[in-house]
Amino acid sequence: MANASQSPSQNTTTRPRISFLGCGYLGTTYAVCFAELGYEVIGYDVDAAKIESLNTGVLPIHEPGLPELLKKNLETGRLRFTTDVQSVADFADVHFICVGTPQRKGEHRADLSYIETAVVDLSQHLSRKVLIVGKSTVPVGTATWVQELVDRHAPEGLGVEVGWSPEFLQESNAMHDVLRPNRIVYAAQSEWASQLLKDVHRGILELAAVEDREVPVVETDLATAELVKVAANAFLATKISFINAMADLSEAAGADVVDLARAIGYDQRIGNKFLRAGIGFGGGCLPKDIRALSARAGELGVGESFRFLDEVDAVNTRRRSHTVRAVAELAGRSSGPNGPDLSGVRIAYLGATFKPDTDDIRDSPALDIARRLRSARADVVVYDPEGLENAQGFAPELSFVKTLAEAVAGADVVCAMVPWEEFRTLDPEALGQQVAERRILDGMNAFDPVQWRKHGWSYQGIGR
């Protein structure tokens, strides 16, 4: 294995050494998985507590399978984490930027300040030619700006280059998506950088070959690489809002959106994925990414073509008030101009995260709806298998309990909001014996209404 003084050109004959700047949901998964693929990896973050936790083998997030892989790869010595940017600059040939790009406060545009800080810090500590590759989701044009930052802040004459390689992993399936991606997309500005990117991804392609799979590789220009990412997320968001609009229509017309989605999904041109109607999409990516795309399109003079994304966003946000009204109706409370008054209604609230199998509560529709119900004076008792700690910090006005049984005991309404396995497998009869009233809002559209009604439940799904 190469040592820190070697140049990338010597290193690339084997495997470049890699750093991941930003050890959140994206960077940590990458650092661990690339060590697993045999690369020497360093993860860097400004959050000292996070780095200490990672170095002691404790994963600060909930991501299935990742804790075991973290421990295993720390033991191999190929993986370590640091807050020391100098050691990162000295160590790696390729630096991946994985810091956050949240929505700016009060605006739809992305906040690129974390990228700026990370890139400037790294650049100032470099002493040889390296490749810096953006992986964070960004507005188109960011890569060119990052190259300018590097040119301004790296020591003169090093020739540090910037490339881009967007990421498509889904939380809860992150490890699989990194080790076995359905495509690799990257952009380089020179033959040298292109070769380095091939070397970086070789481990993924070798694993695919062993497993007799193929991973398509799309090499393109910087702007296209940036756009591919936001285009994919915008398309997925549009699909979800489309089916949620159909849910509204189904409810108004007495149809069932679950059957409808199944029926259109058999058409392979449409496909059956991302057609689950419900409480809408959330998370740290889809909502902020469609807003940033729309804002960037406006800046580039093509905003009109993306107005539909504002509507995708609006349809999505309306799910939340719609769901509050549905709960009120189930509880037999009418809604006035200020919405419903749910005082005295005890709600067993199942789910706080933005989707199952994660502890991530960023822009969680479930948590937002819980807060709205609380504002309507309901007594909201929340249970979530992994998201309680994060949710409690974010919404202290809600009551949180550590078991499903505590949440449902004596409830007037059960709101099943996030399709965790523990909730999807609920038995209507057993649950019925624990609640005060058999009323269920199935925000997951996961239950068979006929079965639940047979057991005496007032069942309300979404769009059915």
Ligand X SMILES: O=C(O)[C@H]1O[C@H](OP(=O)(O)OP(=O)(O)OC[C@H]2O[C@@H](n3ccc(=O)[nH]c3=O)[C@H](O)[C@@H]2O)[C@H](O)[C@@H](O)[C@@H]1O
DSSP summary character for residue 396 = T
Q: To 5 degrees, how large is the angle CA 448–CA 454–CA 456? A: 110
Q: Is 137 in the site for ligand X (CB under 6 A)?
A: yes
Contact 123, 162 (CB under 8 A): no
Name the residue nearer to ligand X (CB basis): 91 or 420: 420
Which of 184, 236, 347, 404 binds ligand X (CB under 6 A)? It is: 236
**Pick from ligand X, ligand NAI, none: which does 44 bind, CB < 5 to 8 A by kind?**
ligand NAI
Measured between alpha carbons, how far is residue 248 from residues 241, 277, 310, 317, 443 in Å?
Answer: 11, 10, 18, 13, 13
Return the range that interacts with ligand NAI (CB under 6 A); candidates 44-52, 71-79, 155-163, 341-349: 44-52
Tell me which H or E stretch contains 340. strand 339-340
| Contacts of ligand X in 166-195 (CB under 6 A) | 167-171
Three-state SS for 406-447 is HHHCCCCEEEECCCCHHHHCCCHHHHHCCCCCCEEEECCCCC
Which of 25, 164, 186, 459 binds ligand NAI (CB under 6 A)? It is: 25
Q: Is 136 in the site for ligand NAI (CB under 6 A)?
A: yes
Return the range that interacts with ligand X (CB under 6 A); candidates 56-64, 206-214, 282-290, 384-392: 282-290
What contacts 24+ positions apart, CB below 8 Å, involve 144-149? 144/222, 144/223, 145/112, 146/97, 146/115, 146/119, 147/189, 149/116, 149/119, 149/120, 149/123
Q: Going by DSSP bridges, is the β-strand pair 184-187/217-220 parallel, antiparallel, or unpaired?
A: parallel
Contact 127, 93 (CB under 8 A): no
Between CA 284 and CA 148 the distance in angstroms is 28
> Is 415 in the active site?
no
Shortest CB 218 distance to ligand X, Å: 15
**Pick from ligand X, ligand NAI, none: which does 91 bind, CB < 5 to 8 A by kind?**
none
Largest interatomic CA distance in the chain: 76
Shortest CB 90 distance to ligand NAI, Å: 16
Which of 85, 240, 350, 382 binds ligand X (CB under 6 A)? It is: 240
Number of H helices, E strands in the chain: 19, 16
Name the residue nearer to ligand NAI (CB basis): 45 or 384: 45
**Pick from ligand X, ligand NAI, none: which does 100 bind, CB < 5 to 8 A by kind?**
ligand NAI
**Pick from ligand X, ligand NAI, none: which does 274 bind, CB < 5 to 8 A by kind?**
ligand X
Q: Take residue 356 and report the two structure tokens written for it.
A: 């199952």
Query: Which of these is catalytic: 23, 33, 98, 285?
Result: 285
Q: Is 281 in the site for ligand X (CB under 6 A)?
A: yes
Q: Dihedral of CA 342/345/347/352: which sign?
A: positive
Which of 59, 144, 264, 274 binds ligand X (CB under 6 A)? It is: 274
Which of 15, 355, 438, 439 binds ligand X (CB under 6 A)? It is: 355
Where does this chain bind ligand X (CB under 6 A)? 137, 167-171, 233, 236, 240, 274-276, 278, 280-283, 285-286, 354-355
Q: Which residues bind ligand NAI (CB under 6 A)?
A: 21-27, 44-47, 50, 98-101, 114, 117-118, 136-137, 167, 169, 171, 284-285
